[in-house]
Structure formats: structure tokens, C-alpha cells
Structure 1
């Protein structure tokens, strides 16, 4: 006999748990089917948590070896790589228990099944040979690394973020395919821990969706630390030889052969939808298998929703959780809440960090918005000057007719901490003049926002400290 539920959630990550918690609040009978990563999904198991732990570990090594202060002579660090990875694993286990597994006892209306779910029709899924029917179904199966069709790759051992972070023996060298945020974060952290790293990017620059001033600035600092970045580099073939991975790469019409002890693939993400049987439910998918949804998170099938990395929206853990809650409200409370990511803040956790919110110049141009940009180098920000670390800049983009802030891009150590002020300024229509007149504490990085706002009309180089 088919078992009946108000809601069936396929997946066990952040979007799924947010949906389950909201459904429990509404006293909806809910089935969660998890058949991929352990409960908690990408973020806690193989994504955000392990990567940020390792980034901080690598940063501590960097600081122990480099100091800009004349009176501080760094002595270096003794790195026990295996111990770092083991501590990472313990943290992941603790976070998975605290933020996911321990919550299950309080979700009285939730049933959790381990197994692979496949649609039988738009209201029915099969799991482990049993059928389950739901009034509404939420697809929350997440995404995984997209594996490109490179000649020889299927016969060559390679790693992804799912497997690299669990290696307890430190790689001697890494050849990372892909210059997006995942590839760059991995490249810098392993380089800082003592692994020789080469990044190969087919496009003409890393983080290619960003403007050249951002990518050039980041590339300069990563290269200065020793990360070998090859852009405009198309990999033609990979193979394993004498315990090394080798790659034929074409750069500007010239062929090169690169080699490393390990190959890492970081060429974007694809949705985990291949074996869901979406055709049986009539659900439409797009590029790389992502489920197409409208602004209410509905698929083309009225009772089926898609939330988190599996859909076409920005793939962040905080958007996934937001979507899980929103979808349940729309599905069962008659709500019509639209997801709006026009002022979504985002971060790349390199050092310096790259962060942004709203439009950049090219996006404003494409939308026909009259714009003006102002760039404040950190060499003019007192906090950065005093810290002897002036890497990066703060760029504000305003509507040149209304003076309202419409976007920002930041390259700065801990620059992500500025994004919420800027996000709220854009959302609530705060003008650049108002930002410039607001009191920002002296010797904070946030003061750089004030200076960048002031620089639309003043030359801050000719101003005294704290001048308004």
C-alpha cells in the first residue's frame, strides 16, 4: 500500500531541512528521502564548513611565515597535515550532529528515509521498492561537480571538493582545472599549506563573470603568493604516467605539458537530477540538469517545487535555506512569496576576499541604468594603512541620476563584512550622499565605504583623517 504524506522532500541538505522545519511548524506530515551525501548535504559535509576550516588553518600558516612589521620576525609553522584534516573531520561530524541530526528529535511530523527516490508520477515516488504519495513534493537534491568531457579524464584518477578535503596525506602538487571560486579557494589554501598548485582556466581570466579590475587584482595577489595561474588554457588531454598526472594544454596557440601529483576538477556544478525520473513527473530541466522554477519556486508541474542548488537560482547555503522555508509557505499557506536576489550579497573566501552585492558596471549598462563608479584603494583607508595591508579596493556603483547605490564590488581582507551595510543601502534606496554623511568608526574597514562614497565628489587624498 502507498504511504500518504502532505509533503515529500527529496534530499537531505540545507534546503531540505529548512523545508522540513517549516512543515513541522505547520504540522504537516512530511517524508524526507536522502540518498546522496550524509544528512546535512554539501555545505556541512564537503563544502562550506570543511573549506572554511581549511582556509583559516592555511591562513594561520601564512601569518606565521610573513609579517609586514619590522619588529615582528615570523618563525614559520610546523604543519601536521594529517592532524589538520582529522580536526576538520571532527568539526564536520560535530556540526552535522548539532545542526542537523540533533534536530530530528524535535521534528515530530517528519519521517526520514535513507535511499534513492525516483518519481513514478507527479505525486508518487518510489524508495527502496516502496511507493510514497505526497500532496506536494519538493526536489532538494543539490548539485555536484560538473565533469567536463576531457580526453582521457575517465581513465585518470581525479579529485573534487567531495574527495580532496578528506585526503590525510598532503598532496605534493595539485593541477586544478577551473578558475571559479571553488578552484581558487582550494588553490590558495593548499598553496599556503605547502602544496605546489597550478590553476588552469580555459577563459581569459579567473572569476570570469566579474569585471577585469576585480579579477586582475585577485590574480595579482594569488600569483604573488606562488599560485601558478594559467588562463586562456584549454586542456586537450590528461593521463597518468609514472605516478604523476599529466595534461596537454594549449595556451595562446602553443602546446604545453603540465604535471602534478594530483588532478582536481573544479569546473562548475551540475544538478543531481539524472536518476530522479523527472520525465515521469513531467518536470522540465535546463542546462546541466538544473530544474526550471518560477519566482515562487514552482516547477512547470504545479504541485512540485525545486529548492536549493538543484534549481537555477544562486547556489548558496543561505539561499537554499531561504528557499526551503519559502516554498513550503507558498505550497501550503496560499502565500505568494517571490524569491528576490537582486541585492544578494556573495563572497569568495580567498585572501583578499572578493565580495559583491547588486549590479556591476556591465550589468548596469545592459539594463540601461545610468551609472557612475568610484574605486577606493585600500591604500587610502586608515585601517588598512595601520595594518600594513593595503591589498585591494572598495568599489561603489551609483545611479548617476538618483545618487542611489545600485552595486558594490570589494577586494579586501575580510571585505565580506562590508556587504550587509551595502546590501541594506541598496534595498532601502539609501543614497551615496547619505552613506558619505553617516558616522563610520575610525580605523574600521567599514570607514572605507564612507570614503568610497565621499570620493564621488571629493578627493579623499587631500582630506585629513576622519574629515567629513
Structure 2
């Protein structure tokens, strides 16, 4: 292996794999470093996206089987969680075939080194294993892709509890009768619904007064109502005070009163945190902020001009962090563009203006573009356009008339056909797929007229992306336009 590279990526999760493979394919010398071969793929493959979505897939099969009972089918039995988790591991193993050190070396031509990396200079790191002195390597640029880890819950009595995070939950072999989830964000809500459908009685405790607090309130309300109908119990505006017993939690309400909740297993999903101690960042002149995050500028650059961060490790961005695998993809795209752009004056700042995300509950929640808060902060004029799926034939046929699409658009003005989307949210089955057309419309600046003039096969679910405009344009067509059309007729 070389001792000096064009680029070193530390961490082989979504960000590290993305930057290393792309730069290598562009003809640069690249070294990829990770602690262990089995951790290549990062949180997404090992503890996050892949196992959780596989678990959700199985839980949906079981749930849909139960829904056939009104039509004469009889279903019975108890979930074999060991078999479910075996399915999860099999899906991971299929993906792991092309996310391991040997594959990356042989197929991508990457230099891959397993071990712990730490800085010994501004552009030099030492890679060691088993606490033995390691190899020194340097690079023109280094990208920190070291990810994040689950935030821990520190309350009295926690040491006696069967407690899990997303890093350990998928090792369960027996379905808990009562699952207590601490945290009402996407991780807690996705896994909560999955385990409820598998057969656990799930209770969700959240400090906020609603679930998915980063989503629009009416979207949160629709989802919470659906989940409550499935049997999940919500204890919101509450925090865990202590665990007085291995199977009970003491909750404290906003007014100071307390209550007990019984459980068998606890899942903690209260956020993400970081630990950069082993990297010895000070040796490279890399500063942390007062929250322990790496200080970054708008170009993902640390206080060392040759060191950058991407993925979860980039939580110190001025634009804020998005804890998603595709956020790492956006970071990588921005970095590569700037690496190969001549002169800093042409460098591209990171922007989340076109960013989107999906919460993979049933129904799904897809959010995209600028939020209402973003628009208000930037004093951008907009209209709020809401469309209920009760008016959509496909939603009526497949029993999801409760669904909703909310768009933030440019003001209609004299020509509503020229209106563009600025952002929005959809809650519906498969919303993550249905919203892709809307996301592309934001990026490509498509207008309401582009949707209005498209003929969708009937009754495809994606017709909703046209229906919202048919209603909106009909309601906002100026009288002067109507008079002109009548004169032409």
C-alpha cells in the first residue's frame, strides 16, 4: 500500500463508501479506513435502514394477513421473532456481498485498511490494531465519515433493565409481550409500529406533545390516530424519571405528577451523539463546538483546510444536520464537486433546499423541499395548498381516504398554471414513492401546468400529483382569465 494518497476516508458507512468509490473511479488514489470488516456499510447496513426496513416488511405481511379476516379468511398463530430476525440478517448478508473489504479491494481497486485511525499531524494519520503501533499514512485531503451512535438514557435503575437501542434490538430472538419505547421520533415510531404488528403491546413515551415533532402537526395527528387504532399506547409530554423495578418505569408529567408503566423490554430512541476522542482531532488542528460536534463551514470543511466531514459526523454544519443515509450522499456529491472545481471561488455551498426524507411507517410520511418555517424565516411569499385523498378514487378503492398532501407553492397570481412547488409533505401508503415526482418538480422547477397537462393512467395512485393542481387552479383562476377564455370561445 502507498504511504501518501490523494484522499483518505475514515469510516466506511454511507459517506465513506460513497466518497471513496467515487474518487477512485475518477482516477484518484484513495485509502478507506474502518475499524472492522463487519462494520463496513456503517449504521445503515448494520443497525439502521436495512434491518429496520426488513423488519417493517415482515410486520406488514403479518398485519395485512390479519386484515383479510372480514372477507372469510382465518389467521392465527404467534410471531416467531427468531425467524423474523433470521430473515433480516439474510437481507443484510445479500447487501454485504458488495460491502466488505475484499470486494472493495478486488472490484473497486480501493486500498482498504482495518484498524483505528488517529491524527498525528494536519494531514497524517496512524492506523493501528489491537493497541499496537500502527502504520503512518498521509493525504492531500481527509474526509471524516465516522458516523454517530445512539444517545444513552441515564436515569436511576437503568442498570437492572433489559434495555436496547437500534444497535442491539435486532439481536432479540423472543418477541417481548410489552415493549416500552422511549422517544417519539422516526426511529421509535417506525419500530414501534413494526413490533405492535408482530404482536407486542407497544407503549411510546415522548417528551414532546406529539409524535414526529419535525413534521407538520396535522400530519403527526393523522399518523398518531392510525397507530392508536392499531393498538399502540402513547404517553406524550412525559419523560422517564427512573426504573424502580426491572419491569416498570416511573414517568414524570409536565405538571410534576408521576405514573408507572409496565414493560418487558425497553427501546431507547432519543437521538444521536458522537465521540471523537480516538481521532485525536487536536493534533490536526480540528476544533469542536460547545456541543461536541466538529466545527464545519458551509463547504463541509473543518478548521483544518485539508480535513472535511460527511454523513452523521457532519452534525456541526451551519445548515444543520440531517441524519439520513441520503444526506451522506448529498454531502459526498458536494465534496466531489468542490474537489474537482478549479478555484475556491467556484466552490458549492451545501444546501438542503431540495432535500427530502421519508418516515417508513404505514402510512408513510414524505417531506420535501422548503418547510413552512424555512419560508417564513426567509420571508418568501407562499400559499399553502392542502388536498385530502378522500377525493381520490384510488384512495377510496384501497381504503386510505384519510391520507393528505400539503404543498407550499408560489402565489398563484394572474397565471396559476405557472405556479411552482417550494416544498411539502404527503402522508399516505407509499408516500415516499408517490412524492418522487413532486421532488423532481421542485428541482427542475416544473409548474402546475406541467402536471395539469400530463395524462396519468387511471386509476394510478400518482394521479394525486395532478388532482391537487386541478382543484387548486380551478379555485384560483382569475375572472379576467375566465372572461378572456369565454371571448375566445
Q: Residues 79-127 of structure 1: CA distance to partner in whole angstroms, max 9, x if unpaired? A: 322111112112212211134453331232x322222212222212222
**Hey, what's the Cα distance between the residues in 2 that align with 1:437 and 1:422?**
15
Partner residue in 2 for 1:463: none
**Hey, what's the Cα distance between the residues in 2 that align with 1:322 and 1:212?**
27
Q: CA deviation at 1:72?
A: 5.0
**Hey, what's the Cα distance between the residues in 2 that align with 1:134 and 1:153?**
44
**Hey, what's the Cα distance between the residues in 2 that align with 1:424 and 1:375?**
19
Q: Which has the higher contact order (CA 8 A, sep 6+)?
A: 1
- Asked if the contact 2:79–2:175 (Cα under 8 Å) also holds between the matched residues in 1, the reply is no
Partner residue in 2 for 1:327: 335
| Pairing 1:23–2:34 present | no
SS at 1:208 equivalent = coil
**Hey, what's the Cα distance between the residues in 2 that align with 1:220 and 1:274?**
43
Partner residue in 1 for 2:127: 127
- Asked if the contact 1:13–1:142 (Cα under 8 Å) also holds between the matched residues in 2, the reply is yes
Q: CA deviation at 1:441?
A: 2.4
Normalising to structure 1: TM-score of the pair? 0.90
1:435-446 to 2 correspondences below 5 Å: 435-446=451-462
| Pairing 1:309–2:312 present | yes
Q: CA deviation at 1:449?
A: 1.7
Q: CA deviation at 1:273?
A: 2.3
- Asked if the contact 2:40–2:99 (Cα under 8 Å) also holds between the matched residues in 1, the reply is no
Partner residue in 1 for 2:416: none
| Pairing 1:266–2:282 present | no
Q: CA deviation at 1:201?
A: 0.5
Partner residue in 1 for 2:5: 5
Q: Residues 241-287 of structure 1: CA distance to partner in whole angstroms, max 9, x if unpaired? A: 3xx25333325442111121111110111234243222222223346
Partner residue in 1 for 2:237: 232
Partner residue in 2 for 1:347: 358
| Pairing 1:283–2:294 present | no
| Pairing 1:187–2:192 present | yes
- Asked if the contact 1:141–1:272 (Cα under 8 Å) also holds between the matched residues in 2, the reply is no
1:63-462 to 2 correspondences below 5 Å: 63-67=64-68, 71=71, 73-76=73-76, 79-101=79-101, 102-108=103-109, 110-128=110-128, 129-130=133-134, 131-153=136-158, 156-241=161-246, 244-250=247-253, 252-286=255-289, 288-312=291-315, 313-331=321-339, 334=342, 336-400=347-411, 403-458=419-474
- Asked if the contact 1:245–1:262 (Cα under 8 Å) also holds between the matched residues in 2, the reply is no
Q: CA deviation at 1:421?
A: 0.9
**Hey, what's the Cα distance between the residues in 2 that align with 1:353 and 1:207?**
12
Partner residue in 2 for 1:465: none
With 408-417 and 426-435 compared, the bigger mean Cα shift is at 426-435
With 323-332 and 384-393 compared, the bigger mean Cα shift is at 323-332
- Asked if the contact 1:8–1:31 (Cα under 8 Å) also holds between the matched residues in 2, the reply is yes
Give the gaps of 5 or more residues in structure 1: 461-468
- Asked if the contact 1:235–1:250 (Cα under 8 Å) also holds between the matched residues in 2, the reply is no
**Hey, what's the Cα distance between the residues in 1 that align with 2:284 and 2:474?**
60
SS at 1:456 equivalent = helix
**Hey, what's the Cα distance between the residues in 1 that align with 2:212 and 2:240?**
18
Q: Residues 377-422 of structure 1: CA distance to partner in whole angstroms, max 9, x if unpaired? A: 1211111111123232111221215632111211101111122211
**Hey, what's the Cα distance between the residues in 2 that align with 1:81 and 1:263?**
16
Q: CA deviation at 1:62?
A: 0.5
Number of equivalenced pairs = 455
- Asked if the contact 1:245–1:263 (Cα under 8 Å) also holds between the matched residues in 2, the reply is no
Q: Residues 277-317 of structure 1: CA distance to partner in whole angstroms, max 9, x if unpaired? A: 22222223346533233333222211001011110332221
Q: CA deviation at 1:372?
A: 1.5
Q: Residues 40-98 of structure 1: CA distance to partner in whole angstroms, max 9, x if unpaired? A: 11111111111111101000000011149x64535246532211111211221221113
SS at 1:388 equivalent = coil
Task: Tell me the C-alpha RMSD between the 2 structures.
Answer: 2.4
